[in-house]
């Protein structure tokens, strides 16, 4: 994995915007570049601040003075702070892994990836088609910017081609996104990174755990409906709707707003369970960090008898 940040071209972009002070905001995987880049820019007369709070997506932009340079994510929403999105390409080559083991894959494939690998999609498509595969690249909606791109909270690019494919092939490391594809669709999901592995079996254990959380929340009387101040995670309409649904079911429900969401901020308030009306993946991927059940919006609907069957909660 090799991320490329071109300091010279970034400096030219900063100069064009004529703002002397910049703030660098990076996800954890890029923070090791922050100091060298800041020193490079300061040597050219730019006043730099490194913003070090954890950042998991473009749903969470620094707001304040100066020009924000947000690294590693494509835009999701407009901020009051002038922002330059620097998406950061990863030049990882998927072809060696595909050359060795691609015969395991079904013949009709939907290709998916994250923003740092989207430029490699045409090359992988051509390679697979040359070996007799039919390859489909879905177009996403809303916060999705590129064909084939997925976010942890939006799998619309996968759903747009789901009926045409036998399986999805996700290009990239980590399980966060391919597990999301498995939960959002009804097709097998393979992940390609060094090797090819099927991740679909993980779906069953996650669904079992999610239904366990819904069951645990079933005894609750007081529900905290959690919202976030982060610009791309504001879901006040969903929060109001869920609050009303609990109240009509004879339960108590209150909206609680935070910046970063964690249980220690609400642990003493006496809620029996929570509903996550911010990043839906906090409920699913970080549930072990919460003692009380934390449901997604759709899981709360299942609890209240308003929905049958599991649907992954996504943000359009
Ligand atoms: S809301 Fe969650 S999944 Fe969506 S972009 Fe933000 S951090 Fe990622």
The DSSP-derived string for the chain is --EE--HHHHHHHHHHHT-SEEEEE--GGGGGGHHHHHHHHHTTT-EEEEE-S---STTS---SSSEEEEESS---S--SS-EEEE--EE----HHHHHHHGGGS-SEEEEEE-GGGGGGHHHHHHHHHHTT-EEE-PPP-TT--STTB-BTTB-HHHHTTGGG-SEEEEESSSSHHHHHHHHHSSS-EEEEESEEEE-HHHHHHHHHHHHHHHHHHTT-SEEEEEEE-SGGG--HHHHHHHHHHHHHTT-EEEEEEESS--GGGTGGG--SEEEE-S-HHHHHHSGGG-SS-EEEHHHHHHHTTS--S-------
Instruction: Read off the pTM.
Output: 0.94
Instruction: Residue 193: name the closest of 304, 311, 98, 66 by CA.
Output: 98
Mean pLDDT over each residue of the chain, to the nearest integer: 95
How does residue 11 score in pLDDT terms, banded at 50, 70 and 90?
Answer: very high
279 Cα to the center of ligand 1, angstroms: 5
Q: Residue 2: what pLDDT?
A: 65
285 Cα to the center of ligand 1, angstroms: 12
Cβ-proximal residues to 214 (8 Å cutoff; 6+ apart), any chain: 293, 295, 299, 302, 303
Q: Residue 187: what pLDDT?
A: 97
Q: Which of 18-22, 89-93, 302-306 has the highest mean pLDDT?
A: 302-306
Q: Residue 162: what pLDDT?
A: 98
For residues 70 and 86, the answer to whether their CB atoms sit within 8 Å is: yes
- Please report the atom of ligand 1 found closest to the CA of residue 280: 2
Give the tens place of pLDDT for each residue, 23-48. 999 999 999 999 999 999 999 999 99
Residues with CB under 6 A from ligand 1: 56-57, 59, 151-153, 232-233, 279, 281, 315
The DSSP-derived string for 168-194 is EEEESSSSHHHHHHHHHSSS-EEEEES
* Residue 276 to residue 262: CA distance in whole angstroms: 11
Instruction: Residue 158: name the closest of 174, 172, 141, 143 by CA.
Output: 141
Q: Residue 104: what pLDDT?
A: 78
How does residue 203 score in pLDDT terms, banded at 50, 70 and 90?
Answer: very high
42 Cα to the center of ligand 1, angstroms: 31
Q: Residue 204: what pLDDT?
A: 93
Ligand 1: residue whose CA is nearest its atom 3 = 152
Mean pLDDT throughout 194-203?
91
**Lowest mean per-residue pLDDT among 75-79, 153-157, 269-273, 301-305:** 75-79
76 Cα to the center of ligand 1, angstroms: 10
How does residue 233 score in pLDDT terms, banded at 50, 70 and 90?
Answer: very high
Whether the predicted pLDDT of 4 surpasses 90: no
* Residue 255 to residue 2: CA distance in whole angstroms: 42
Give the tens place of pLDDT for each residue, 261-300. 999 999 999 999 999 999 999 999 999 999 999 999 999 9
């Amino acid at each position: 994995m090799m991320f490329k940040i071109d300091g010279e071209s970034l400096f030219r972009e900063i100069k064009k915007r004529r703002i002397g002070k910049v703030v660098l905001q990076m996800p954890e995987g890029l923070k090791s570049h922050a100091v060298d880049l800041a020193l490079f820019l300061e040597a050219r007369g730019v006043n730099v601040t490194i913003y070090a709070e954890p950042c998991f997506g473009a749903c969470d932009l620094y707001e304040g003075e100066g020009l924000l340079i947000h690294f590693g994510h494509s835009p999701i929403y407009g901020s009051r702070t002038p922002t330059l999105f620097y998406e950061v390409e990863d030049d990882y080559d998927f072809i060696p892994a595909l050359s060795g083991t691609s015969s395991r894959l079904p013949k009709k494939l939907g290709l998916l990836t994250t923003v740092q690998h989207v430029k490699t999609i045409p090359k992988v498509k051509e390679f697979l088609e040359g070996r007799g595969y039919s390859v489909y690249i879905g177009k996403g909606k809303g916060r999705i910017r590129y064909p084939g791109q997925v976010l942890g909270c939006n799998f619309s690019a996968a759903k747009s081609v789901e009926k045409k494919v036998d399986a999805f092939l996700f290009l990239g490391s980590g399980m966060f996104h391919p597990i999301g594809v498995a939960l959002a669709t009804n097709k097998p999901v393979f992940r390609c990174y060094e090797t090819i592995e099927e991740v679909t079996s993980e779906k069953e254990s996650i669904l079992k755990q999610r239904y366990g959380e819904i069951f645990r929340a079933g005894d609750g009387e007081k529900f905290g409906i959690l919202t976030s101040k982060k610009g791309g995670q504001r879901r006040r309409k969903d929060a109001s709707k869920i609050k009303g649904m609990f109240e009509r079911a004879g339960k108590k429900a209150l909206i609680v707003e935070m910046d970063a969401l964690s249980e220690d901020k609400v642990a003493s308030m006496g809620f029996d369970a929570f509903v996550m009306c911010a990043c839906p993946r906090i409920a699913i991927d970080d549930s072990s960090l919460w003692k009380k059940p934390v449901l997604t919006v759709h899981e709360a609907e299942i609890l209240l008898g308003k929905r049958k069957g599991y649907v992954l909660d996504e943000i359009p």
